[in-house]
Amino acid sequence: MTLHHSTLRKKRGHKRLRQALHLALIDLIVMGELKGGEKINESLISRRLKVSRTPLREALLHLEKEGLVRSDLRRGFTVAPLSAREVREIYPILAQLECLAVRTSVKFLTTVLPELIRINSQFARARTSVRALELDTLWHNTLMSQSKNAHLETLVATLRSVIRRYEHFYMSDSTLLPVSTAQHAEIISALQHNDLETGLRAIEENYHLGMQVLLKKMDEE
């Protein structure tokens, strides 16, 4: 019995370590400390994050599946460069998944409308790109929260982890914050007036604008 409990504790500890390491690596990529195309120095990162090379490589392999890093027998792991193709592929998918969540849970959305208004008000006052990204993600997750569809939530979470660095790139331009705030308000207003179709079109427009802005900024870069 004691051995069984000890094994369970170790498994839970390993799971927490993997999750923490996964998030730490994503943060390094999103914040630009590990730039697109840059070779990942495993020794340096393992010392910085205070982990051994084995769990670090496991985390990097997981990030490769998510499209954030690439591996090569000669070069090792590198950060995947920002990709216009990735933006064009993922943003429309996320828009449709969010529309599906809203369409299938529209009867229950009145319960979260006050929370959406509160989050959007905080979003409008965000002073850093990190805070803006955090609140924008929370707003969209709250909008989808009533669907209670675990598979849909998993799909969205995976895709959001891939576009997080693009979203940070978007949020780094503070002039875009009022535009996104206004689009959120439009979605809320439509749902308050039980106008589902207008709300769905506003959701699609929110993602479409983000995609177009990113493509333009990436082209300029």
- 123-166 pLDDT, tens digit per residue, is 999 998 889 999 999 999 999 999 999 999 999 998 998 888 89
Could you state, in order of their start, the residue ranges of all structural domains in the chain? Answer: 2-79, 84-220
Q: In the structure, what pLDDT confidence band is assigned to residue 10 with cuts at 50, 70 and 90?
A: low
Assigned CATH for 2-79: 1.10.10.10
Where residue 194 falls (left for φ over 0; alpha for ψ -120 to 50; beta otherwise) is left
Looking at beta carbons, which pairs linking 102-106 to residues 24 or more positions away fall under 8 Å? 102/143, 102/144, 102/147, 102/191, 102/196, 102/199, 102/200, 102/203, 103/196, 103/200, 104/147, 104/149, 105/144, 105/146, 105/147, 105/148, 106/191, 106/196
Cα–Cα distances in angstroms (integers) from residue 42 to residues 47, 59, 62, 77, in the given order: 8, 11, 15, 8
pLDDT at 67 exceeding the cut of 80: no
- For range 118-124, the mean pLDDT: 98
Asked if the 84-220 domain carries CATH number 1.20.120.1200, the reply is no
Q: 72 forms bridges with which residues in the sheet?
A: 76
pLDDT score at 2: 45
The span from the CA of 171 to the CA of 150, in Å, is 28
Percent of the chain with pLDDT over 90: 61
The tens digit of pLDDT for each residue in 22-49 reads 888 888 887 778 888 889 999 999 999 9
The span from the CA of 192 to the CA of 198, in Å, is 11
Q: Which residues contact 144 (CB under 8 A, 6 or more apart)?
A: 98, 101, 102, 105, 152, 153, 156
pTM of the model: 0.76
Cα dihedral sign for 209, 210, 211, 214? positive
The span from the CA of 47 to the CA of 41, in Å, is 10
Mean pLDDT of all residues in the chain?
89
Helices (H), the chain: 2-30, 42-49, 53-65, 84-105, 113-124, 129-144, 150-171, 177-192, 196-220
- For range 169-188, the mean pLDDT: 94
The tens digit of pLDDT for each residue in 48-64 reads 999 998 899 999 998 88
Q: In the structure, what pLDDT confidence band is assigned to residue 1 with cuts at 50, 70 and 90?
A: very low
Q: In the structure, what pLDDT confidence band is assigned to residue 221 with cuts at 50, 70 and 90?
A: low
Structure tokens at 192: 């308050």
The span from the CA of 148 to the CA of 36, in Å, is 35
pLDDT at 8 exceeding the cut of 50: no
